[in-house]
Amino acid sequence: MDPCHKIKQITVKQFNVYILYVFFFISISSAQKVTINGYIIDASTNLPIPRSIILLNETGEKKSSDERGYFRFEVHTTGIYTFSVHHIAYKDAERKIVSSNLFNDTIIFSLQPKIFQSDGIIVNSTRTLSDVNNTPFPLNIVTSEQLLLQNNTTISDALKNSAGLSMVRDGAWETAISIRGMSRSNIVMLADNSRIETANDIAGALSLFNVHELEKIEIIRSSGAALYGTGALGGILHLISKRASFTDEFQLNSEMNSEFSSVNNCTSQYLAFEGSSEQFAGRFSGGYRKADNTVTPAGILPNSQFTDFNVNGSLGIRTYESQSLRLSYQRAQAENTGISGGAPISTFAKATYKLTRREFFGLDYTIPNISQAFSFLTVRISQQNISRNVEIVQTPTLTLTPHAIHSTTSAQLESKITATENNFLIIGAEVWQRRLESKREKINKANNTITGERPIPHSTFLSAGLYGQDEWYVVPNKVTMILGARYDWIHISNDETTNPEYVISNGVLNSAPANQILLWRSGTAKNESWSGNMGIQYSLLSNLDVSFLASTAFRSPSLEERYQYLTLGDGVHVGNPNLKPERSISMNAG
């Protein structure tokens, strides 16, 4: 049977049920607990550092070091564990260790003062929780502290000076990122492991995130399709949100920020609360911004105003031993936001986001270290809706109002396997589906008519993939090799679409106007493809290493590229439903 036919029969909801069955019938057995002890010391003086915050990433537990710099975690099995250490006077440190026996393990973190660079960073986007110093992937890591060093309007503003990145601007608020010259269509954007799927004709997806909400941003400056599937020819941009961690005792923290920018009279407020204990960990936050037109050396930039707000909430619940359930809700919304540029819009028109909104629901369930070999199992289910309502005033008598809803449902099942003490394997399955509902009205005041159109038919893009990524420390802290592969099945469908759909003349609706034509017949398309990567990293000296990465990737054409019919004043843009997937081969060395 054709694999794509199988995918068509399995809906995302069915896949979610299968994942939950797998989870609920896993039997957990842990006889003897393993104690992991550690000390936090000053790298220069070897003196203990009290009141350091130590986070065990696999379980979400947080501890504080005592006056001796000592901390202790009790875990239920041996296996892989990653630790993050934070102290206000020292650079953050992260490390991955393997607890290989049932005797007590002791680890020592030597922290450098903040004038030095961070002592190791664990990277989530490689899926294997790699140390940034021991992976051949070309990476940029931007921490929350770096994001807040300057008053940046958007995330793209904060990233524009990072190596290999440049900012693409369609307005003061509408910005995007290019990686090594590759456009936004060739970059997969993720928020907390869920794809951000929306139209790319006008930038704005990254502007729907508040920089105060982010723990860090990870950028892979190379093909990432073997990790994340279609679209990652140019790289990966992964936004990781702040979350509260479990603590031994009840803790309550708050954060407040207020900013003002004179260049556009922008006022910004942000407030967050965190509460945690052994059984729960919650974070709730929100922000609001309002800005006038931007003042430049050449004068006022018209139609550059914006107003936006965001509300975020996450709740972690300890369910059984070290297992945890996390629920997330995110909402960001912008109103009356000027669009001063953009390829599909005529330079003589005035375009405004009357409303653009992102709403996200997420559920994660994690089971750490089921056994020494089967080290981690995680289940993720999410639903994301992005709405875009635009008003384009082409002339005093002609106004266009395109609007669309982009809905993405996804489910993932991922496991981490410790093949040997120095070999880690990730295997997983992922299904996601994007649904697009778009409409457009032409309001002509000269003849008192409203013409209803569908710039893109009601359509769906369903992708299912299996992937694996192996990371082998051939010589620990010296030579690292990676090998990864992924296979994807893609099914695209669209409804029949006529143009125009209707005409309202002097208040009278006509659903079958004389000039109505069949624009797109209903149809389906199927793609399937594979991706792979292979790399090696060799540390010559403590501050010098060489690396090589070869990868192949693919990109299946988007719904817009297949079906769009745009008439926004700069000509007519017509899609092609018969487009074939793109294939790339890339190599990185340095």
In terms of Cα–Cα distance, which of 388, 383, 430, 437 is closest to 408? Answer: 383
Q: Which two tokens stand for residue 23?
A: 């989870």
Q: What domain count does the chain have?
A: 2
Question: How distant is the alpha carbon of residue 274 from its chain centre?
Answer: 22
The domain that contains 103 carries what CATH number?
2.60.40.1120
Question: What average pLDDT does range 320-327 have in this prediction?
Answer: 90
The string of pLDDT tens digits covering residues 347-380 is 678 889 999 999 999 999 999 878 777 888 999 9
In a domain, 191, yes or no: no
Contact (Cβ atoms closer than 8 angstroms) between residue 355 and residue 335: yes
The string of pLDDT tens digits covering residues 529-584 is 899 999 999 988 877 889 999 999 999 999 988 988 776 555 677 888 888 999 99
Please confirm whether the linkage preceding 500 is cis (ω < 30° from 0).
yes
Q: Which range has the top average pLDDT, 161-170, 172-181, 355-364?
A: 355-364
What CA–CA distance (Å, rounded) separates 146 from 159? 10
The domain that contains 333 carries what CATH number?
2.40.170.20
Domain boundary pick from 53, 86, 120: 120
What CA–CA distance (Å, rounded) separates 43 from 49? 10
Question: What average pLDDT does range 48-64 have in this prediction?
Answer: 88
Q: What percent of the chain has pLDDT over 90?
A: 54
Query: Is the predicted pLDDT of residue 48 greater than 50, yes or no?
Result: yes
Q: Which two tokens stand for residue 293?
A: 């037109």
Domain boundary pick from 120, 144, 166: 120
pLDDT category at 3 given cuts 50, 70, 90 is very low
Instruction: Provide the whole-model pTM.
Output: 0.87
In a domain, 176, yes or no: no
DSSP 257-279: EEEEETTTTEEEEEEEEEEE-SS
Query: Is the predicted pLDDT of residue 255 greater than 90, yes or no?
Result: yes
Question: What average pLDDT does range 431-437 have in this prediction?
Answer: 97
| Least confident segment among 20-34, 53-67, 203-217 | 20-34
Q: Would the CA dihedral through 490, 493, 499, 505 be positive or negative?
A: negative
In a domain, 232, yes or no: no
In a domain, 13, yes or no: no
Residue 407 and residue 555 in one domain: yes
Query: Is the predicted pLDDT of residue 119 greater than 80, yes or no?
Result: no
In terms of Cα–Cα distance, which of 215, 212, 196 is closest to 204? Answer: 196
Does 482 or 151 have the greater pLDDT score?
482
72 CB contacts (<8 Å, ≥6 apart)? 35, 36, 37, 38, 63
In a domain, 543, yes or no: yes
pLDDT category at 58 given cuts 50, 70, 90 is confident
What CA–CA distance (Å, rounded) separates 225 from 527? 15
Does 318 or 4 have the greater pLDDT score?
318
pLDDT category at 340 given cuts 50, 70, 90 is confident
Q: Which two tokens stand for residue 43?
A: 């790298």
Query: Is the predicted pLDDT of residue 2 greater than 60, yes or no?
Result: no
| Least confident segment among 9-13, 246-250, 509-513 | 9-13
Domain boundary pick from 69, 100, 120: 120
- How many residues are recorded in the chain? 590
| Domain extent at residue 308 | 239-589
Query: Is the predicted pLDDT of residue 343 greater than 90, yes or no?
Result: no
What is the reported pLDDT for 204? 84
The string of pLDDT tens digits covering residues 102-117 is 456 788 999 888 765 5
Distances (CA, A) of 422 to 21, 100, 135, 419: 31, 11, 14, 8
What CA–CA distance (Å, rounded) separates 359 from 380? 17
Residue 409 and residue 553 in one domain: yes
**Radius of gyration over alpha carbons of the chain, in Å?**
25
Query: Is the predicted pLDDT of residue 6 greater than 60, yes or no?
Result: no
